[in-house]
Amino acid sequence: MTHGTNTMKTEIINMTPHAITVAGQTFNPSGTVARVSQSYYKCGSANGIPLYTGSYGETENLPAETDALIIVSAMVRLANPNRRDLASPAKFLRDASGNITGCEGLEVNV
């Protein structure tokens, strides 16, 4: 099932602090990390554990929308739902110990 289409991007920029391996290709960090602030509000408790709900604030270090595909954290991508140039790792691959070794693809906003 297809939920939408995304224009093929030719340049991929990694704006996370980690090298990201996608479908066998490794993208090293660009040196600039996109981050989003988050505010939390207490909304209850469960067995003495505080429960919070959150909301996203401003995104830092994210350039204006470009023709490149920009790899960011899922939090940054979700905080910017109208951006079609943002992608985050999807379908993680793990080794025998359960450590993430890469991902099959990238999740985008559609």
What pTM did the predictor assign? 0.82
Give the C-alpha distances (Å, rounded to integers) separating 2 from 47, 78, 92: 42, 20, 21
Burial class (CB in 10 A: 0-12, 13-18, 19+), 99: exposed
**Looking at residue 10, what is its pLDDT?**
78
Q: DSSP labels for 91-102? A: EEEE-TTS-EEE
How far apart (Å, rounded) are the C-alpha atoms in residues 60 and 34? 6
Tell me the pLDDT of the chain (110 aa) as tens digits.
445 555 566 799 999 999 999 999 999 999 999 999 999 999 999 999 999 999 999 999 999 998 999 999 999 999 999 999 999 999 999 999 999 999 999 999 99
Q: What is the DSSP letter of 46?
A: E
**Looking at residue 28, what is its pLDDT?**
98
Report angle CA 16, 90, 25 to the nearest 5 degrees. Answer: 65
At 4, give phi and psi (nearest 5°): 160, 175
